[in-house]
């Protein structure tokens, strides 16, 4: 499966995937940081980012994490193995505007049974520093698909290795 071709925006995503950084936080988790520049299509006529775009960015940057860190697993998705979003949320603290540079930081604190938690923090980069604009969360589920029915599935070793490198607690993960 060609990941860039399936998303329809391969050049932009390939560039974004090459521009992530890693940083260890004081709590021991390693965060992936992606830089995002807000375009007009992501804003209202007034110029601020639609709140729903931040949920969209969660999916986009989760996929970029996958392309960079768990590529083999990502290429198997869509068959009988899949990773679905079990839940997502986002809290909004400050507006994000057209042409803002936003730092999207992802951590993966834990993998338990067939679930994994992804935490997203959105910082608006300014000349004087960073402003926390929003914080979100997704819970992902490893699943096996039989027709239109999904059942819990184990995580492949590649996924567990990548999340351990990010500091995730994988001690209770369902292993393939």
Mean pLDDT per 10-residue interval, the chain, length 176 residues: 42 48 92 94 91 94 91 88 94 96 97 98 96 98 91 95 96 94
Its pTM stands at 0.86
pLDDT at residue number 148: 87
pLDDT at residue number 100: 96
pLDDT at residue number 114: 97
pLDDT at residue number 109: 98
* Distance separating alpha carbons of residues 137 and 144, to the nearest angstrom: 23
pLDDT at residue number 81: 87
**If 0-12 CB within 10 Å is exposed, 13-18 middle and 19+ buried, where does residue 86 land?**
middle
Partners of residue 144 on adjacent β-strands: 81, 151
- pLDDT for 73-115, tens place per residue? 999 888 888 999 999 999 999 999 999 999 999 999 999 999 9
């Amino acid at each position: 499966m060609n990941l860039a071709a399936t998303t329809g925006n391969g050049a932009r995503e390939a560039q974004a995937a090459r521009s992530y950084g890693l940083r260890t936080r004081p709590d021991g988790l390693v965060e992936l940081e992606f830089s995002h520049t807000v375009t007009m299509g992501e804003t209202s006529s007034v110029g601020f980012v639609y709140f729903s775009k931040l949920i969209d960015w969660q999916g986009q940057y989760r996929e970029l994490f996958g392309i960079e860190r768990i590529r083999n697993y990502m290429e198997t998705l869509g068959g009988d193995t899949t990773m679905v979003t079990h839940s997502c949320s986002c809290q909004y603290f400050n507006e994000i505007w057209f042409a803002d540079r936003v730092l999207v930081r992802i951590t993966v604190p834990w993998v338990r049974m067939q679930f994994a938690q992804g935490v997203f923090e959105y910082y608006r980069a300014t000349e004087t520093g960073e402003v926390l604009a929003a914080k979100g969360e997704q819970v992902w589920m490893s699943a096996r698909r039989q027709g239109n029915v999904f059942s819990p599935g184990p995580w492949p070793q590649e996924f567990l290795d990548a999340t351990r490198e990010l500091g995730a607690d994988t001690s209770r993960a369902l292993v393939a």
